[in-house]
Amino acid sequence: MKILLTGATGFIGSHVLRRGLSENYEIIIAKRSNSNTKRIKDVLDNVKCYDVDTMPLSKIFDENKIDLVIHCATNYKKNHNYEDIPSLIEDNITFPSQILEQMQIHNVKYFINTGSFFEYALSTSSDSPRKKINEMQKKEPYDFYAATKSGFSEILKWYSKNCGIKVIELRLFSAYGPGDNEKLFNFLIKNFINQKKFEMCPCEQQWNWTFVEDIADAYICSIKYITNMKSDYECFNIGNEKTASIKELIKIIEKISGKNNLVSYTKPYVEKEIFYVNCNSKKAQKEFGWKAKYNVKKGIKITYDWLKEEIKNERPN
């Protein structure tokens, strides 16, 4: 199978690329000419690359008989401003829509999309009812980023219904692991490695922290499932079904590092804090046998060891 992968230089896409290559799929990546290829530099010789900002998108489809597209590329902004709106719409709606149009022209039948749990209606009150989120949960995007993801989801459904493209959407829950961007896990672990005191909120938020290798496995399961999928469109939640509070994560890192008393829980919660997220991934388990294999202790230990080595290599001798 010949796969076009977007977002291969990013956190999740780089892990999907490696897993795909390990399954002997032929993978073509669509990236920008200025993309940082650090995460995938050791496997670049195993893939064909196209810089989509320097050539027509149609060139990829004209030169290759693509069987399936995996769309991992995204433009994420936790807090957007006025100037961010054009790029968020271009990257999260326009670009993948143009891929779908090329798929229709070139008779490519399969598309796997990367969605987010932020597209669902979420609990922003500490005393809200605590229920698991399944795929039938009401959609109510948490922020503008999630709104662009939901907007593209509706476009996907239109192409699926009207253009004969089979679609799987994977809604991911709180990915973390080696190679992640500067988000929560990197922030916490780096402070412990560097023995730096820092301030946090009370850290009672309970989420589904999902190790990136489990997420990469979900894409491989989807590739194998989609070619025999009876319906034209399916959505699957992909998340560790066990929740853990941020304070619990910190306790795990304290134990791994052997360092205590670095954290003070004195900061206030931010506005619209999400206190509880709990994923129901039973549909993915039932339909294509996916289930998270890594608990947070194992995933954090792998991430901690990876970051420790990265920091060691960055320091001057």
CA distance 115 to 125: 24
Nearest in space to 204 (alpha carbons), one of 268, 253, 248, 267: 248
Band (146; pLDDT cuts 50, 70, 90)? very high
Q: What is the DSSP string of 76-91?
A: --SS--GGGHHHHHII
pTM above 0.85, yes or no: yes
The residue with tokens 């995204």 is: 74
Which pLDDT score is estimated for 314?
80
**Domains delineated in the chain:** 2-173+209-239+279-293 (3.40.50.720)
Band (316; pLDDT cuts 50, 70, 90)? low
Give per-residue pLDDT as tens, 110-142. 999 999 999 999 977 776 678 899 999 999 999
Which pLDDT score is estimated for 78?
86
Give per-residue pLDDT as tens, 238-252. 999 999 999 999 999
| Torsion sign, CA atoms 98, 102, 104, 107 | negative
CA 84 to chain centre: 20
| Torsion sign, CA atoms 39, 42, 46, 51 | positive
